Amino acid sequence: MIKFDNITKSYRSGKVKIKALDDVSLAIKQGEFVLLNGPSGSGKTTFLNITGCLTRITSGRIWLADREISHFPDHFLSAIRREKFGFIFQQFNLISGYTTWENVSIPLLPMGVSDKMRKKRAMNLLEELNLETRADFYANELSGGEQQRAAVARALINDPEIILADEPLSNIDSENAKTVIAVLEKLKTKGKTIIISFHDSQPLITKLIDRTVYFDSGRIS
């Protein structure tokens, strides 16, 4: 279970202090499929980044499986990201100098997984996402939709317990969206926790959603 108690996140933009999240409390159970919904700038992405230990909270407390991680040092947070989370970024965040399969398998590299094994695991995921023919293409040679699917594959390469997805269908056509949704459905049946954000309604995933959390101006409404 992931539990958030009265968390706030403030940014400073020049002299202006921006409160991206304001006193948010939420508990997400293991295996739950949670949709974060709300307009752009409402705090969904910030909440996902905090959940995935990509950024720190300004105040409040966070528990992950009964362990408070709010003030964990950097190397513990890296370990948590590696072992627990798979993150699908809205902007894909692939590394342009690497091929698709290299991008997908990059989380495994410092873990000592052999080149052969990394490629095998990457290819399995790329096949599942209909991207195997693009395995040796460089990231900057892929279309937006292909990059999004490669980002999905990278998020799943570690077989994470929790998948965080920031607008994962925003750059892909309906056919590829169905492929991604099929993958998400499979993950749900495996008991993975999935937290996904959309700024608009997504009828294609309605059947998968256990709970919808609405964000507005950094608060849960």
Residues of the shown chain interacting with other proteins in the complex, contacts defined by CB under 8 A: 49, 52, 54-56, 74-75, 78-79, 81-83, 85, 87, 89, 93-95, 97-98, 106-107, 109-115, 154, 158
Task: CB nearer to other proteins: give 6 or 93.
Answer: 93
Q: How far is the CB of 174 from other proteins (least distance, A)?
A: 28
Q: How far is the CB of 78 from other proteins (least distance, A)?
A: 5
Q: How far is the CB of 207 from other proteins (least distance, A)?
A: 30
Q: How far is the CB of 217 from other proteins (least distance, A)?
A: 20
Judge contact between 69 and 62, C-beta under 8 A.
yes
Task: CB nearer to other proteins: give 55 or 130.
Answer: 55
Task: CB nearer to other proteins: give 154 or 202.
Answer: 154
Distance CA 127, CA 89 (A): 20
Edge-to-edge strand ranges of the sheet holding 85-88: 85-88, 162-166, 193-198, 33-37, 211-216, 219-220
* CA distance to 3, 58, 113, per residue, from 120 (Å): 36, 41, 11
Task: CB nearer to other proteins: give 157 or 184.
Answer: 157
Task: CB nearer to other proteins: give 56 or 61.
Answer: 56
Q: How far is the CB of 139 from other proteins (least distance, A)?
A: 11
